[in-house]
Every structure is written in structure tokens, then in C-alpha cells.
């Protein structure tokens, strides 16, 4: 049952919400609740007289009051609970506060604090957001979707909770991730909160801690696997296509063995992408493009070493391969420039443990001819650094200190400006720190990290470190694909998004060591990325045929700025 609709007055062109709730129901709806900001006219017409104190406040004063309360919270988890509670009470207020304090609050509503929250979600949950689809209700998927109170759904972020951040299988407690990603789509990308829907495919869990926890609220059975799991995902996707044919579906925090399969199976059937694979790689590629500009070099002149070949590692390798293809290299030449290391060491073509997504990047045995190895049984990280002479080192391993001083020094011997992307977060799991890179490279290293670091004073100058956060990529990608009416999300769209991201780094910022724009510019970044993606969709025959100026206008107009809209009463639906 819809609770409101977007309307435009045909006489005055005023934009307003036609509201179908009254009284307490209206105050309890987070999309619509304005609390003390309801005008006297709205209070009278919407059945609110006597339910509110007489004072009428502005959104700005509510933000000030909320920020004071936020800063009184004793730790980050309590701040997370406070912000989620605010989101459950009034979304315009929540997003106004978040947008004005992005750099401080993104680490609270998303990584790293959201990980702490997911570990305890069944113990701290107050209200349920989004939808939970499980094996017992999948047959009612159409009815579940029809029961949604939102006026229209354009964006769906879905997880099955099997690989939540670096925390593993958290079942339906992993719903904090889609909820957090939706928050970032709104705050950074500008999508309206009422068109975004977080979903958990609650297919069970193999986490014994959760199964034994009497407070766990998820589907209390072992995880679905095999054909039963695939059938449920298929029924879910078909339900999305039937009920939300214009929606973009973002796959989030699925385990590696299902993430790649779902991406390949559905990327041609439904507008969709996987942020862990494609978004991570595209953001890192943006940083690498900037590094090449600083170095005055081409990708084909470099040798890349990717350490950690899960979803993020494969995504990084795939995007580097795309950049090398654009420079005209053959597949053989590309393979000679990308080296990938996982738990078993350098991935080789004859490795029986090789997984299909890793296979295009595995090396033939002939590569090792002339190499000096510490052991004949395994080609380790130091072996690769010493023999392959990489000029760019990318880590997605969640192993603190993996990039040791000796490894960093060796990479620095291979090039005047070594490029280091230590992409694991939180800080406690980063492969190296800015200070360690500066020390090992004599301040010559070009660094981006997965966790935020403060500027480093080194040898009389200040070195800035970019946080290589997917927030630079997925909001703009989603917004551009939707505004551009893209039929599908392609590798070319991600490549153009990476180039656009790098274009926003000014010469002064590059001089200071930044490989990505400042986080404070994130809404402008999302707008530029969205325009570029919509343009690529159009030019490739996959999107709407409008000129560049109109695309820019449409993207700008699609970016919602948090505010309290005007309300007019509509017919009461389902009681009031």
C-alpha cells in the first residue's frame, strides 16, 4: 500500500507529496515524518493537531539538535545505533545530517562501524528496514513486492549475507550492508530515499554462533546450496523484473563462488552490477590512471602485481586488463604485465585449485624460467616482487603489514615513482601505512589506501593519501545507468567512470600525492561519473538518445537534496 505519491500542481508547478496517512501513522512513517517542522496548515489538514508541541522548527534546527546528541554518544557503535534510529524516525533529517557531516559519519553508517553492528545486529535491532526473502516466503515474492509502501523502486541493493566485509557468514544480520549502501546512494549519489530498497536473501547460515544464539532472528537453518540456492535466486530476479522493470540491482557481499556466477548469469538479463568486483576495481583503476598521469607513463609500460585474488582482487585485475586492452595490447602481452598472488602464491595455469575467475590471470610455467626462487614448491610474494619487477603493487588481503619494508624497497627499485594501493580496511588490516611507504621509498611512493589516513609530514612537505573507497564509484554508476535508461551495465561504462574520476583530481592535488578527489567533493564526483556513464550508454546504443547538455541537466535534477517537502492530503488508504 503506497503511503504517498510525488505530485506537481498543474496551475503553479509546485512540487509536493500527496499523502495518504494521517495522525500517528504519518508521524511513524520515516519517509514522511517532519516532526516539529509540520506547518500549521499541514497539522490541521493531516490530523496532527494536538499531537505536536506548538513550536514550528526548521530542518536546520533539527539537524543542530541531532548533531549535539550524536556527539554525546560514547562510542562508534552507539553512534551507529543513534543514526539508524534517526533514519527510522525521519529520513530527510537523517540524510540532511549525513550529507553535512559525510567525512565524519560515513565511517559510522558504513565501514568500519557497520561491521561491528552486523556482528551484533540481532541484539541491537530496533526496526526492520527493507525486505527479507527466505525459502518459506519466496513463493509469495510478487505479493511481498506489491506490499511495499514506496511510490516507486529504482534501486535494489541485495545480499545473501555469506561474505559480509571481512567477517564471513552473518546470515540475515548482514542486512546492515544493503541498508548502509542505500544510505550512501542517497547521501553521495543523490537518489531519493523512497526509490531505494535494501533486500536480504535470507537463505540460512552456517555460522554456528548465530545458530546457537537464542536472539538470532534469521532463517535458522544451514545455508541453501546448489540447485536449491540457484532456483531461489532465479525466482527473486524474475520477481524483480516483473515488479520493478526499471530498477537497477546491485549485488552486495555475496561469497566468491556465488558472486561471479550471479554476475555473469544475470548481467545481460537485468540492469545489474557487483560492487565488490566491478566497483572496487573501477575505483582502484581511477587511482591508477592518476598515478600514470603523475608518472607521465602508460599502463603498458608498467608491471602490476595484485595480491589477494578474491572478488576485489579479480576486479582489480579485470580493470587493469581493460586499460591495457584499450592501449592495444594482445592477451599474451597483457598476461605478461599482470601478476596475481593468492594464498598458494603466484597463480599458475596448471594449479588444480585455480578458480574460473582467476584463470585469465594465471601465468604459464615458462614465466618462471630464469627466476630465482626461495622454494621450488611455491612461488611466494617476495619471489614475485624480486623476479617480476612490478612497478605497481595492489593489496586486498586484510593482512596488516603484508607489504613489508623489504617488499616496498624492492618495488621502489623498479621505478622512480612506485605505485602502492593498500586497499584493505579497517586500518588494523591495511597492508601498509603512508609512513611505511614513505620510509621505504624515500617519499617517492604514490599511495592510496582502503582506510582513511591523516596527512603525513615527510621531509619538509605534506603527503596526502587518498582513501580508495567504492563510494567514489557505485553511487554515480547507479545514478548514471538509471538516468541514462541503460539496458545493461558494461565494462566500458566502468572504464569511462574510472577516467572521469581521475579527471577530477587537480594538478595541485596530484602534487600533494592525491590519486582521487577529496571525499568532501563526493556528490560532485557522483554527478560527473553519472553523466559520463549515461553518455557511454547512449553512445554504445544502450541508453536514451539525448544530448550532453540535457544529460547533465537530467542528472543534476535527479540528485535529491535533503529537505522537508510540502504535503497535501490525499484520500486515506487502509484506515487513518
3-state class of 141 per DSSP? helix
Provide the pLDDT for residue 111: 83
Domain with CATH 3.40.50.720 in the chain: 281-469
| pLDDT, tens digit, 9 for 90 and up, residues 474-503 | 999 999 999 999 999 999 999 999 999 999
Q: How far is it, in rounded angstroms, from Cα 419 to Cα 411?
A: 9
The CATH number of 474-558, from 3.40.50.10380, 1.10.3720.10, 3.40.50.620, 1.10.240.10, is: 3.40.50.10380
| pLDDT, tens digit, 9 for 90 and up, residues 330-349 | 999 999 999 999 999 999 99
Residue where the block lists cell 516539529: 36
Q: How far is it, in rounded angstroms, from Cα 148 to Cα 4?
A: 12
Asked whether the beta carbons of 515 and 469 are under 8 A apart, the reply is no
CATH number of 58-270: 3.40.50.10380
Average pLDDT over residues 11-18: 95
Domain with CATH 3.40.50.10380 in the chain: 58-270, 474-558
Backbone angles phi and psi of 448, in degrees to 5: -135, 145
Round the average pLDDT of the chain to a whole number and report it.
95
Sheet containing strand 4-8, edge to edge, reads 4-8, 15-19, 567-569
User: For residue 553, is the peptide bond before it cis, meaning its omega torsion is within 30 degrees of 0?
Assistant: no
Catalytic residue annotation: 110, 181
Give the CB-side neighbour count of residue 520, counting CA atoms within 13 A.
0
Closest CA to 512 of 290, 302, 301, 304: 290
Asked whether the beta carbons of 420 and 445 are under 8 A apart, the reply is yes
Backbone angles phi and psi of 178, in degrees to 5: -60, -40
Q: Which helix (H) or strand (E) holds 463?
A: strand 461-463
* Confidence class for position 576, pLDDT limits 50, 70, 90: very low
| pLDDT, tens digit, 9 for 90 and up, residues 521-551 | 999 999 999 999 999 999 999 999 999 999 9
574, pLDDT greater than 70: no
Report the chain's terminal Cα–Cα distance, integer Å.
Answer: 13
| pLDDT, tens digit, 9 for 90 and up, residues 443-482 | 999 999 998 899 999 988 999 999 999 999 999 999 999 9
Q: How many of the other CB atoms lie within 10 Å of CB of 80?
A: 24
Asked whether the beta carbons of 355 and 347 are under 8 A apart, the reply is no
Q: How far is it, in rounded angstroms, from Cα 162 to Cα 207?
A: 9
DSSP H helices, 414-490, are 434-441, 474-483
CATH 3.40.50.970 fits 281-469, yes or no: no
| pLDDT, tens digit, 9 for 90 and up, residues 21-75 | 999 999 999 999 999 999 999 999 999 999 999 999 999 999 999 999 999 999 9
Q: Which parts of 387-460 are beta strand (E)?
A: 392-395, 419-422, 446-449, 456-458
Backbone angles phi and psi of 566, in degrees to 5: -80, 140
Q: How far is it, in rounded angstroms, from Cα 513 to Cα 466?
A: 8
Amino acid at each position: 500500500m503506497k503511503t504517498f505519491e510525488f505530485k506537481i500542481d498543474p496551475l503553479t508547478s509546485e512540487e509536493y507529496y500527496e499523502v495518504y496517512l494521517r495522525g500517528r501513522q504519518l508521524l511513524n512513517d520515516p519517509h514522511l515524518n517532519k516532526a516539529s517542522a509540520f506547518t500549521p496548515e499541514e497539522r490541521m489538514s493531516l490530523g496532527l493537531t494536538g499531537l505536536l508541541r506548538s513550536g514550528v522548527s526548521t530542518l536546520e534546527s533539527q539537524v543542530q539538535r541531532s548533531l549535539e546528541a550524536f556527539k554525546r554518544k560514547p562510542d562508534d557503535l552507539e553512534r551507529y545505533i543513534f543514526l539508524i534510529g534517526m533514519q527510522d524516525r525521519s529520513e530527510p533529517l537523517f540524510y540532511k545530517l549525513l550529507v553535512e557531516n559525510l567525512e565524519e559519519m560515513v565511517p559510522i553508517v558504513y565501514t568500519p562501524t557497520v561491521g561491528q553492528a552486523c556482528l551484533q545486529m540481532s541484539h541491537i535491532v530496533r526496526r526492520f528496514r527493507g525486505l527479507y526473502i527466505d525459502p518459506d516466503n519466496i513463493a509469495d515474492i510478487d505479493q511481498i513486492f506489491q506490499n511495499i509502501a514506496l511510490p516507486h523502486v529504482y534501486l535494489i541493493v541485495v545480499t545473501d549475507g555469506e561474505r559480509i566485509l571481512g567477517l564471513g557468514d552473518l546470515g540475515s544480520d548482514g542486512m546492515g550492508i544493503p541498508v548502509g549502501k542505500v544510505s550512501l546512494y542517497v547521501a553521495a549519489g543523490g537518489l531519493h530515499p523512497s526509490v531505494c530498497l535494501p533486500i536480504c536473501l535470507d537463505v540460512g547460515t552456517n555460522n554456528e554462533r548465530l545458530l546457537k544464539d537464542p536472539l538470532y532472528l534469521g532463517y535458522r537453518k544451514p545455508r541453501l546450496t546448489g540447485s536449491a540456492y540457484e532456483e531461489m535466486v532465479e525466482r527473486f530476479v524474475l520477481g524483480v523484473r516483473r515488479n520493478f522493470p526499471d530498477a537497477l540491482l546491485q549485488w552486495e557481499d555475496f561469497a566468491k563462488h556465488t558472486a561471479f556466477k550471479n554476475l555473469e548469469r544475470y548481467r545481460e538479463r537485468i540492469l545489474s552490477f557487483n560492487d565488490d568486483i566491478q566497483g572496487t576495481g573501477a575505483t582502484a583503476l581511477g587511482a591508477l590512471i592518476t598515478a600514470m598521469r603523475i608518472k607521465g607513463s602508460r599502463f603498458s609500460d608498467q608491471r602490476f602485481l595484485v595480491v589477494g585474488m578474491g572478488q576485489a582482487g579479480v576486479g582489480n585485475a579485470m580493470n587493469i586488463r581493460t586499460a591495457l586492452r584499450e592501449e592495444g595490447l594482445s592477451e599474451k602481452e597483457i598476461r605478461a604485465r599482470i601478476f596475481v598472488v593468492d594464498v598458494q602464491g603466484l597463480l599458475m595455469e596448471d594449479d588444480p585449485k585455480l578458480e574460473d575467475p582467476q584463470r585469465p590471470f594465471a601465468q604459464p610455467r615458462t614465466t618462471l624460467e630464469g627466476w630465482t626462487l626461495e622454494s621450488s614448491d611455491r612461488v611466494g610474494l617476495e619471489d614475485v616482487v624480486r623476479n617480476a619487477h612490478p612497478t605497481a603493487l595492489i593489496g586486498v588481503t586484510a593482512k596488516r603489514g603484508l607489504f613489508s619494508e623489504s617488499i616496498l624497497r624492492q618495488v621502489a627499485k623498479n621505478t622512480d615513482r612506485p605505485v602502492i594501493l593498500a586497499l584493505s580496511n579497517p586500518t588494523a588490516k591495511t597492508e601498509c601505512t603512508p609512513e611505511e611507504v614513505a620510509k621505504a621509498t624515500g617519499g617517492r611512493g604514490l599511495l592510496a589506501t582502503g582506510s582513511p589516513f591523516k596527512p603525513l609530514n615527510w621531509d619538509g612537505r605534506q603527503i596526502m593519501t587518498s582513501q580508495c573507497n567504492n563510494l567514489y564509484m557505485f553511487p554515480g554508476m547507479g545514478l548514471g545507468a538509471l538516468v541514462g535508461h541503460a539496458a545493461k551495465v558494461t565494462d566500458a561504462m566502468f572504464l569511462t567512470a574510472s577516467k572521469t574520476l581521475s579527471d577530477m583530481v587537480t594538478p595541485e592535488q596530484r602534487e600533494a600525492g592525491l590519486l582521487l578527489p577529496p571525499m568532501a567533493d563526493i556528490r560532485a564526483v557522483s554527478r560527473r561519473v553519472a553523466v559520463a556513464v549515461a553518455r557511454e550508454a547512449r553512445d554504445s546504443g544502450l541508453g536514451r538518445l539525448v544530448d550532453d547538455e540535457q544529460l547533465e541537466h537530467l542528472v543534476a535534477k535527479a540528485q535529491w537534496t535533503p529537505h522537508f517537502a510540502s504535503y497535501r492530503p490525499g484520500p486515506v488508504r487502509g484506515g487513518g
